[in-house]
Amino acid sequence: MERRELVKEAIKANMDAPSRTIARMLHEKYPETSVEVWRSSVRKFRGNFGDRYREQFVDKSLYRPNHDPAVVGKEYNLNPVDLSVKPYVFKYKKPLILSDIHLPYHDLDALVQAIEKGVEEGVDSILLNGDTLDFYQVSRFSKAGNAPSIKEEREMFWDLIDYIRDVLPVPIVFKVGNHEDRLALYIRQNAPQFADLHEYSLKAFLALDDLGIDYVESRQKIIMGELTVLHGHEAGDSIFSPVNPARGAFLKYKASTLAGHNHQSSSHFESNIRGELTGCWSTGCLCQMTPEYRPFAYTKWNHGFAIVTIEEDGTFGVSNYRIINGHVYT
């Protein structure tokens, strides 16, 4: 039997197999012809060598469409590695959003006032929107000798969860901020052998599954209807703007966005030529206002939090609260 007929029969018998696989099968039966020669013949009959060969080898029943991504990926070993980050779709309708608590360097009065406001407004969930813990002991900065240990910091986080559930028993979602990222970075730099083990992940370290707390990765955005919520570090740097962080978010993201990270309450609104309104917000922090590393932070920072109301059609409302001298203001 001529090579042409051998190739045709092999293709018909193995229509879904990659060309290289068919070539290897033919080579096993007819080893005097190399795998690469067989593969070239298979690809010609499948229509993978261009229009000239499609005209010459007219048996269209042997063609496979080489524009089909599934075929191309399998045939040429071109299936990509998926690096995309899927968004977290928030399923509750009225969350209390608390950002930048920085345990154990939190401001307890501000934290309690924010949670009390959530109780008062009847929120149905809490989003801990990044930097809930500080992870100072695994940061790149020089460490103070009297700083709380990682163990103590974690136990304080668990105590915070106990307190929240005693006064506001609603579902909790935990978003990773840049300070929580410090743990994974420390392990990668100092003990890379453990970096891929779940037992050493932040989620396992904080026992979030056992606590029944949803987990949102560092680079995941949170979708609340037409509003996107971020911690604020996801784009690689701060949403700094000479005006305020909310305008910085508008210039960077071009969509309605709420973020923490900058420790400053602000808002910015613009409409496009079609009259479509975009609103951006940044929330205040719930940490101490005069930390040792930045003793004059209070000139820019303020205590604050937000409550978002999401309607069934995806529209939303944002109440962006400031805490000033022990009082809550919008």
CA distance 80 to 73: 8
- β-pair type (266-271, 227-230): unpaired
- The pLDDT of residue 193: 92
CA distance 181 to 23: 49
**Which region holds residue 216: left if phi is over 0, alpha if psi is between -120 and 50, else beta?**
beta
Whole-number average pLDDT of the chain: 89
- The pLDDT of residue 50: 57
- Domains detected in the chain: 3-75 (no CATH), 88-329 (3.60.21.10)
Copy the structure tokens of residue 126: 């809490």
CA distance 163 to 191: 34
pLDDT digits (tens, 9 = 90+) for 271-317: 999 999 999 999 999 999 988 877 888 888 999 999 999 999 999 99
pLDDT category of residue 46 using cuts at 50, 70 and 90 = confident
- Please list, in sequence order, all residues whose beta carbon lies within 8 angstroms of the beta carbon of residue 271, skipping any fewer than 6 positions away: 277, 278
Classify each residue of 125-151 as buried b or exposed e, where b means 16 or more C-beta atoms within 10 Å of its C-beta. Answer: bbbbbbbbbbbbbbbeeeeeeebbebe
pLDDT digits (tens, 9 = 90+) for 125-169: 999 999 999 999 988 876 666 788 999 999 999 999 999 999 999
Residue 194 is classified by DSSP as: G
Residue 198 above 60 pLDDT?
yes
Q: Stretch 57-82: mean pLDDT, rounded?
A: 68
